[in-house]
Structure 1
Amino acid sequence: MCGFTPLNPERFAAWLFNLRQKKLAVSRSDASIEIWNLNNVWFIERSIASTAENFSIEGLKWCNDRLFSVGLHGLLIEYDLRKLCAKSRSAVTGEAAFCLDIHTAKSQAAIGTEQGYLNIFKIDDDEVCFEKFLDKQEGRIICLKYDSNGEFIVSGSIDAIRIWNVETGHAIHKMTTGRSEANKPTIVWCLDVTTDFTIITGDSRGKLTFWDGKVGAQLESYQSHNADILTMCLSEDESSLCCAGVDPNILNYERISIKGDNNYKWVKSIRRKIHEHDVNALVICDNKLYSGGVNSYLTCCYHPPKTVLMSPPILQEPCVHLASKARYLMLRYSKHLEVWCLGRGAESDASYRGTVSLTSEPKKLLVLQRITKDYDGDEEREGVFTCLGIRLFQFEFLDGKASLLKVDDLENKSIPCLRAVFTPNNHLQLITAPNTGGIVVYDIKYGRVSINQVLESTDLSDTITFLLVSACGKYLIAGDPLSNIVIWSWKQDKWINYSKLPKYRHPPTAVAVHPNTCNVVVVYSDSKIVEYDVKKRALSPFSKRLQKKLPEHWKGRVYPVRNITFDPRMDNIIILHDDNSIIIIDKDNNTEKDASEASTKKKAKQIVENGEETANTLSLRVIEKYKHLAHLQWLDGDEMVAVEVNPLSIIEQLPPAFVQNTFGMK
């Protein structure tokens, strides 16, 4: 085991759920955005890095499949989800913007600002236009929400909730919240509006209050929490409400009908103790509650059965790159990257299986500060590919000193790059996927870099999320979230379109190429595993057999496969890993024979615990001894490298949690 720089937890700032696509847009405190796909297992489908201009995100909203944000910079920003960058920027009136809501049917956006201006923007097909702003109020607008028809806007601020008529621009009702202390103002942090125009607010007193929006009167109020309520969410049918905040307990309220009357009442239902620190984001999807806050974990809980899942703040793959021969490890963080030289393991018997102690400790060689989306490196070179363009360096480590030499400037170096990879053969090339589309191939000769070829593929219809080259350097593979995976072949000194994998209905979460056979292995978000024989341009016989023999517990996995690696000594071994386990597939084992033998046992499935391995009916070996396994890859010979994020390193960086008395004690 070796210790690297601890991962810096970036708390959640804002998020919103796209019901139609079942995608969750998440912004963190560093102004980066993650798009999570929740259709099967949850995974980061794509991510957008922060920039010097877009340094803050306070509000985030979907308008159909378009994504918008506002922040302290006072801009309404629309994002291009294919290019993964800002598409347009519109200045708002009133300095910093703190909240945003969009009425999809009217294609209208409302923005609340520091100076009390409520801006209205019109969202057209090809542009965003300022329409008007409503009457100026005193003080900052902290939260706002459209009613179901888009005729009214409800805003929350200090000591008051206002209801605005969008057409006239005037406030028609002002409801005061009251104060728990005379000199301490009440801040309305969050609110929501139901279809029947019931307004629900959460404030700094920890009170959850229900208002009649038609007459501007309070209906009922609950002392829900012992501290500020920062967030709330309604279920799709508006029968259930969850809220949380500085007091991290998540309380659930249910709407019940009053017998003999058409009215209803909200009653407290379930209390969930999931987080230890502030919770500032909640959403309900398919009866599952997703929550996030200061601890930077994305959490999912549901019942039945009682289940709590937590996803650590690990960046989208690839966040680790290994130069096997040189034993260099490159780690990507949100604002910088590090290059480490791996240590050496102690000698052990050939029959020994397990971890070995280190005879030499790993050493940090380089820290490079940047804002990046991707990077790659061969044994001597590394490329840094950022939202501002591409930079290529030559890395040298001589006499205990590391140096980074800039290589000749690249053509089109100012175009942002999404993915990149070096070819491993003697004809060294840098292959990049710019956000303008296509794939650009650079030749690297004698310290000079020039464009060799531009590959245009109509088969790739979305942003490229996978780009890799086979170990032999003969095949180039690219894939997108729409399950398009295309293969090019190196012939006559150029890349030519060679084949395409069968398109599947779910997106891939991991793609890899076997170093010996060049077979492409893909794992999809519903846990389906596919092996594609590149030379025969068809699915392998093992792949077809595997789909019929996969056990039910595999199909019901809750964490996505992050990475795929192989044992170069044995072509029949495929190694997968997710957040907390390693899965080993032996292709040569007779699955039918194994299944018949296992049927006589009491347990059809045996899962390995504490690092001991046991085969189940389909020769799937599962090793469960890790927490937050970020990367696993074969190093050289009989060595593997596992990069694990220590949960304690995240907890140690968190601020103090809210202190509550429990049974008379703190």
Structure 2
Amino acid sequence: MEIHRCRFVEYMPSAINALAFTTGTARPLVACGRANGDIEIWNPFSWHLEKRILGELNTSVESIIWVHKLSLTETDKIIYSTKDEQEKALKELANKSPRLFSGSANGLIIEWDTTKLKSKKFINSHGGAIWCMAVNHANTLLAIGCDDGGVRIFEITDDGLSLIKNYDRKEAKVTSIAWDKEDKYIVFGTSNSLIIKWDVEQGREILRITPDKNSRKETIVWAIQVLKDDTIISGDSLGYVCFWEGTFGTMKQKLGGHDADVLCLASNMDGTMVYSSGVDRKCVLYRIVPKPKSYGKDNSVNEKYWVKVGYSRHHMHDVKALAICEERGVNSVISGGVDTTMVFAPTLNFPKSKYYRVPYVPLKPMINMSKSKKLIMFRSNDHIKIWRLGKAMPPEPDQFKQKIPRLELVEPQKAILEIKLKGNNQLMASSISENGEWIAVSDVERIKLFKVLEDDDNPVHSNHLKVRKIKDFPQVTIDGRNVGANLLGFVPNGSKLVVAFMNSEIVVFGLEIDEEDDVYITVLERFDDYSTKPDCEPLTSLTISEDGKWLATGDLLNQIYVYNLETLKHHMTINQFSSIHTSLTFNPFEPILVITLTSNQFYLFDLQQKKLTDWSLKYSEKLPQNFLNLKDKIMGCSFNPSSDSMIVWGANYLCLIDFNKCKIKEGTDNNDELICARCSGQQSKPKFLKKQQSGEQEQKYEKIYTDTISFQLVNRYQTLMYLNFIKHNQLVVVERSFSSILENLPPSFYKAKYGT
């Protein structure tokens, strides 16, 4: 098999500035705010990316917060006077979706529409850049710390935010902020060595704390937490985590667990555990313990103090955000920072617990391909770039003896087109037709269509391409605003363009070219199966079969519909699965749709028979357990035209599945499953698999040869961004190594040790 290993795609993820968990909701979510203005919403149970809201270019998310009101105010109790009315009102509040707010360096508080994936309201901070945000425990007031040194208090209403309090000071910017347990006070830290406690109701300063500072410069209080017992915890630029008495401001303890600035703090609900992290990449756990009798003569036996339990170092650069989720089934601390990756580690047995690094590549590939023209298109934030794949020399006889022969290039890959689009919005969807004649891109406001023109007489070996923008592409308007598409797809011959708009409406456009090379765009059909439902969620998947007959789409609620593009009618609805689907792929030779799930299961659906295939009925519920236990979710799959096999792939693995080798012994239970083993590249070398029988403590090893292995796992590649077959026994693999990401980051903190 000839493999094109492509490492020329210069994808660069953005740093993580803020993390936030929902609290008290039926389904916990994680919001991740990045330095390029993007917001990601993750499911913490399966660590699957559910939604991605694109920010504007040249903006950033400095802080992020969830708001979910779960209690009644005094005014609400007057409106709902009886106990039954109050219980009904509380249930309605609990069933409402949490609201998402973010603060940015441009001085705007933004409320986000998590269904339509766009901004909902903009509120001016009246104080410049917003560096920190905190919501009170009743979820009725929002406090922000601004660049001008002021603190603003906003009342959270159904219509948005209303400014009610303003603590105005011009000394230094507010870098951290937190509420006390009774929502009476706000504690905030500044960039000029101050911690201030402010009475919200009276609007006055009641306490001022001065941390230690260096003689050369002021100490910056980067992080603040307030515990249930009114203990104030601060993390500063000197690397100290300090514990302060909340009434008089006296220092109870000062722990120096860091070698550089402490940028973030997180504490559990009980106030018994505190995590800190920062520039030195350490994530340190502190726990409160009873003070022993021998600790001091005058101390009470019931007095407690804080100790450093230990630390872990999961990141390669500054850690800027920490968050704790104590929901059952999650119970983890999650961290993120400059190295662009999220890491979650179970709180049980921390710091020795096993952690999981969420892949830094997009879980929905940003790459499209034209197989016939050997073109690869990559979508960046503000531009698209197209390469033509290279050509290698045929392997020599001696190279077949090598484990993995490396072929010499006759023609290297060539960058033949780059389109930089105007506007302030990031690109969220793109597609290139199979014949390489059409390119479509979209942002949150509009769709742009381009006709590809060959620049040379020989189009196959053309070094450059030209494009012509098609003007007056039909747009969709909702509430007076243009909406773009979050998914695009061409039929292989380029005669139709399928658009999934952000309101979940699917429109099929016809593309025609006359003799004078004029393009005519017509609306062939509109499908509103998703958009007319009251619980409409954005579409996450769209795929078109290689014969151009079938269209399959899926949304976040796991509703998968199949349409016939020849008759332009709805064909069928596929029953919902227990897990959320991650990708939809058509078999290029048969009308079979492959559905992959977050549980790492996959199902093959026969579109003509409108049921699961015989293989899927027999094996989909009996997949190898070590394959199902893979942390990384399936991102896609591809079929090899030369054999009856399929490759499913995730960010850090690919798995070759040979349907002909899938056999389960008759008369056995599910413990004898399909065989899955890691491939070493030597097909004749046997494997030794652990087999532990029920009731037996000893593990037995069974000798298995590779010609009987139906699931072959391969981990020899760098992190995968895309994988697909282009022809018989020719595979394209697009890789992006973590080292290439780190090369583009500024130098990280380094402290030399003695003798080094």
Q: TM-score, normalized by length of structure 2? A: 0.81
- Give the letter aligned to residue 297 of structure 1: T
- 2:677 alignment partner, SS class: coil
Aligned-residue CA RMSD in angstroms? Answer: 2.8
Q: For 1:566 and 1:595, locate their aligned partners in 2 and report how far apart those are by CA, in whole Å.
A: 31
Residues 641 and 729 in structure 2, CA contact (< 8 A), matched pair in contact too: no
Structure 1 residue 312, shift from structure 2 partner: 4.3
Within the alignment, does 1:657 sit opposite 2:661 as a pair?
Answer: no
Q: Does residue 279 of structure 1 match 2:319?
A: yes
Tell me by how many angstroms 1:406 deviates: 0.8
Secondary structure in structure 1 of the residue aligned to 2:155: strand
Distance 1:506 1:206 in 2: 43
Compared with structure 1, are the counterparts of its residues 408 and 605 closer, same or farther at alpha carbon in structure 2 (3 Å cutoff)?
closer
Percent identity (aligned): 26
Aligned-partner SS, 1:553: helix
Instruction: Please point out which of 44, 48, 53 is paired with 1:43.
Output: 48
C-alpha contact 2:606 2:612 (8 A) present in aligned 1: yes
- Tell me how far apart the structure 2 counterparts of residues 560 and 55 of structure 1 sit (CA, whole Å): 30
Shifted more, 482-491 versus 592-601: the winner is 592-601
Which secondary structure does the structure 2 equivalent of 1:186 belong to?
Answer: coil
Deviations 1:294-328 (A, max 9, x none): 22222234476753433343234121111000100
Q: In the alignment, which residue of structure 1 is the partner of 2:665?
A: 593
Return the match for 1:310 from 317, 340, 357.
357
Alpha-carbon shift at residue 13 of structure 1 (Å): 1.6
Partner of 2:439: 382
- How far apart are the structure 2 equivalents of 1:598 and 1:482? 30
Stretch moving more, 239-248 or 204-213 = 239-248
Q: In structure 2, what is the Cα distance between the partners aligned to 1:641 and 1:274? A: 31
Q: Could you say which residue in structure 1 is the equivalent of 2:94?
A: none
CA distance in 1: counterparts of 2:8 and 2:418, whole angstroms: 12
Aligned twin of 1:22: 28
3-state SS of paired residue (1:542): helix
What secondary structure sits across from 2:539 in the alignment?
Answer: coil
* 1:452 alignment counterpart: 524
For the residue of structure 2 that corresponds to 1:554, the secondary structure is: helix
Which stretch of the first structure deviates more once superposed, 330-339 or 639-648?
A: 330-339
Which residue matches 1:647?
A: 738
Match for 1:367 among 413, 418, 423?
Answer: 418
Counterpart in 2 of 1:424? 492
**Shift in Å at residue 169 of structure 1?**
2.0
Query: Where does residue 8 of structure 2 map in the other structure?
Result: 4
1:368-421 Cα distance to aligned partner (Å, 9 max, x none): 224201100112111111123110001223323321111232111742211111
- For residue 189 of structure 1, give the secondary structure of its aligned residue in structure 2: strand
Are the counterparts in 2 of residues 63 and 104 from structure 1 also a CA contact under 8 Å? no
Aligned partner of 1:635 among 714, 726, 732: 726
- Distance in 2, matches of 1:566 and 1:229, equals 49
Pairing 1:206–2:257 present: no
Measure, in 2, the Cα distance between the counterparts of 1:184 and 1:382: 54
Q: Tell me if 1:106 matches 2:157.
A: no
Deviation at 1:262, TM superposition (A): 3.7
1:336 equivalent to 2:407? Answer no
Tell whether 2:541 aligns with 1:466: yes
Distance 1:3 1:626 in 2: 11
> 5 Å matches for 1:499-648?
499-570=572-643, 572-593=644-665, 606-609=677-680, 615=706, 619-648=710-739
Q: Secondary structure at the match of 1:592?
A: coil
Compute the displacement of 1:349 (Å): 8.5
Which of 458, 464, 473 is the matching residue for 1:401?
A: 464
Deviation of 1:509 (Å): 1.8
- The runs of 5 or more residues in structure 2 that have no matched partner are 69-97, 293-299, 457-462, 477-481, 514-518, 685-704
Partners of 1:75 and 1:32 in 2: how far apart? Answer: 15
What's the TM-score once normalised by structure 1's chain length? 0.92
Q: How far off is 1:605 after superposition?
A: 5.3
Shift of 1:107: 2.5
**Post-superposition CA distance 1:43-88 (Å, at most 9, x none):** 3222122214x71211111113221111121111011112211111
Aligned-pair CA distance for 1:121? 1.7
Shift, 1:594, TM fit: 9.9
CA distance in 1 between partners of 2:33 and 2:301 (Å):
43
Q: Give the secondary-structure state (helix, strand or coil) at the position aligned to 1:142.
A: strand
What's the CA shift for 1:162?
Answer: 1.4
Aligned length: 657
- Partner of residue 185, structure 1: 218
CA distance in 1, matches of 2:56, 2:427: 10
**CA 1:100–1:594: 2 relative to 1, 3 Å:** farther
Give the superposition deviation at 1:588: 3.1
Q: How does 1:473-492 map to 2 (within 5 A)?
A: 473-492=548-567
Alpha carbons 1:611, 1:623 under 8 Å: kept: no
Quickly say closer, same or farther: Cα 1:496–1:355, change in 2 above 3 A. farther
Supply the distance in 2 between the matched residues of 1:196 and 1:553 (Cα, whole angstroms).
46
Q: Residue 343 of structure 1: CA displacement?
A: 0.9
Which amino acid in structure 1 is aligned with residue 638 of structure 2? T
Larger radius of gyration: 2
Shift in alpha-carbon separation, 1:356–1:511, aligned structure 2, 3 A: farther
Distance 1:90 1:599 in 2: 58
CA offset at residue 104 of structure 1?
5.6
What displacement does 1:5 show?
4.3
| Equivalent residue letter for 1:138 | E
- Contact 2:539 / 2:555 at 8 angstroms: preserved in 1? yes
User: The residue matched to 1:588 in structure 2 has which SS?
Assistant: helix
**1:315-330 correspondence to structure 2 within 5 Å:** 315-330=362-377
Distance verdict in 2 for CA 1:71–1:541, change over 3 Å? same
